[in-house]
Structure 1
Amino acid sequence: MTHTGSTASSDRVAGRTAVVTGAGNGLGRAITLALAERGASVVAVGRNQERLEAVEGKNIRAATADVSDPASVEALAAELSGETVSILVNNAGVPGPVASLVDIAPDEWDDVFAVNVRGTYLMCRAFLPGMVERGAGDVINVASVSGKRPLIRRTPYTASKMAVIGLTRTLAYEVGPAGVSVNSLSPGPVDGPRMTRNFTLEAERTGVTYEQAEEAFVSRAALHRMLTEDEVAAAVIAMLHMPGLCAADIDLSAGMVAP
């Protein structure tokens, strides 16, 4: 059977309904705005209602939900049951602790996996049936280049992002025959508050300056810089315009390589 529902138009964003998690700030906010600017009707999902309301505007409406909580995700799906959600961007994520594995508490480990992996699973579980039934849809799971290379003292985060990549590739083979594409996007370091936090902690731990900690990190990238949020959002748009893309993990890391 040939499925053409999501490939009939050269513009694969305008007129579609998208759900973006972790949409209140950072990458989620940038992805939400990029989709809305291109004519998608976007449901911005997150836990912080105030942040979500700040993102609301033309083509964007807020929906409060905790992606790690099955009941909350089920309530969100029920709220959107009358919508034809054909784009799902699982962006919600937490960075977790910065510490050696032996110093990480089980609860800290579980908190990272609850959002980064369980949240992705629950959102897919809630919104994939409609896509499969219609024979069209796109799921983009935001992973990380850190799921594919060492990131010292960040084991919960790196392990969770590797899990997201594995989930993506296997899920693509489950729903691909029905016409649904599932892919992951693995950004490298993105300039913003999270990296500022990481560089500050690394400088404190090693006794170097903030600038030295930042330089040591970005020097591993071919472009010798971090990404911007808008560059990651643009990658999501580009992936949606590649109808043959499925079971893929896109590395968007400015050429970041393992040390």
Structure 2
Amino acid sequence: MKRVLITAGASGIGRAMGEGFAAAGLEVWVTDVDGAALAACPDDWRGFQVDATDEPAMAAVFAQMDRLDVLCANAGIAGPTAPVEDVALEDWRRCVSINLEGAFLAAKYAAPVMKAAGAGAIVLTSSTAGLYGYPNRAPYAAAKWAMIGLMKTLAMELGPFGVRVNAICPGSVEGARMEGVLAREAAVKGMTRDQVYAGYAAGTSMRSFVQPRDIADMAVFLGSDQARMVSGQVIAVDGHTENPDPKV
């Protein structure tokens, strides 16, 4: 049975990915910092309460693997929502660390396993913030742009060993993380949550938020044999973002 490992896989987009890969017949392993969310995962998933930036802990997870077919480096946080002059260096570093270093560590330890097998697929969860500048989101946008550079480099390094690497750029995804963003942005702009929500939706040609399953479906495709010649690609699942500075 093929195996997928999903970081931050116990809730939100990661949980949807796990459900998608399970439906496709893969054995699901997940890491997450939230022990309660891990405990609520299906019994046949293998879960590890691990911080994605904790290198010894991540190395210990990969040391238990005799195979890994798909890695979804999905761990991330939204970071602060504030003008750049109001962003604390500590908050900048935490946002960049979890988003970028978390993806780096997962790829670092997945690469030897996949290279030895001569096959594999790595999917990084970037963001449309990795395609556009977003006012008041400097740490997040910087980290998500950097993840695309990481993906392009990994695709070149690992391609000769049969390993594909791609990045998904979700748009505005329904869920707890986006609710936090909406609340913080509303405070910064002096707007209501619903006004900010409407602005995000209006900034896409589909006039809609994305659902976690939309991201999961793309991840399952990229991890499958149907995508065997898809590598080094940045794929937005965002309803076509037209306006990176949501307004009403």
> Same fold per TM (> 0.5)?
yes
Q: What is the CA-CA distance between 1:243 and the residue it aligns to?
A: 0.8
Q: What is the CA-CA distance between 1:193 and the residue it aligns to?
A: 1.6
CA–CA distance in structure 1, aligned partners of residues 47 and 108 of structure 2: 21
CA–CA distance in structure 2, aligned partners of residues 70 and 155 of structure 1: 26
Aligned with residue 252 of structure 1, among 216, 231, 237: 237
- TM-superposition CA deviations, 1:112-150 (whole Å, max 9, x none): 111111111111111111111111000000100111112
Greater alpha carbon shift after TM alignment, 103-112 vs 48-57: 48-57
Match in the other structure for 1:77:
62
Describe how 1:20-169 pairs up with structure 2 within 5 A. Answer: 20-58=6-44, 60-78=45-63, 80-81=64-65, 83-169=66-152
Match in the other structure for 2:213:
230
Q: What is the CA-CA distance between 1:206 and the residue it aligns to?
A: 2.4
Match in the other structure for 1:12:
none
Q: What is the CA-CA distance between 1:235 and the residue it aligns to?
A: 1.0
Aligned with residue 5 of structure 2, among 19, 40, 44: 19
Match in the other structure for 1:219:
202
Q: What is the CA-CA distance between 1:202 and the residue it aligns to?
A: 2.3
- Does 2:154 align with 1:171? yes
CA–CA distance in structure 2, aligned partners of residues 43 and 244 of structure 1: 25
- Tell me if structure 1 keeps the 8 A contact 2:78–2:181: no
Gaps of 5+ in 1: 1-14
Match in the other structure for 1:210:
193
- Tell me if structure 2 keeps the 8 A contact 1:189–1:253: yes
Task: Give the length in aligned residue pairs.
Answer: 242
Question: Identity across aligned pairs (percent)?
Answer: 28
Q: Find runs of 4+ consecutive structure 1 residues off by over 3 angstroms.
A: none
CA–CA distance in structure 2, aligned partners of residues 136 and 47 of structure 1: 29
- Tell me if structure 2 keeps the 8 A contact 1:56–1:62: no
Gaps of 5+ in 2: none
- Tell me if structure 2 keeps the 8 A contact 1:185–1:250: yes
- Tell me if structure 1 keeps the 8 A contact 2:82–2:188: no
2:31 partner SS: strand
CA–CA distance in structure 2, aligned partners of residues 67 and 201 of structure 1: 25
1:85 partner SS: coil
Match in the other structure for 1:185:
168
1:203 partner SS: helix
- Tell me if structure 2 keeps the 8 A contact 1:149–1:257: no
CA–CA distance in structure 1, aligned partners of residues 185 and 117 of structure 2: 48
Q: What is the CA-CA distance between 1:56 and the residue it aligns to?
A: 2.7
2:174 partner SS: coil
- Alpha carbon RMSD of aligned pairs, Å? 1.2
TM-score by length of 1: 0.90
TM-score by length of 2: 0.94
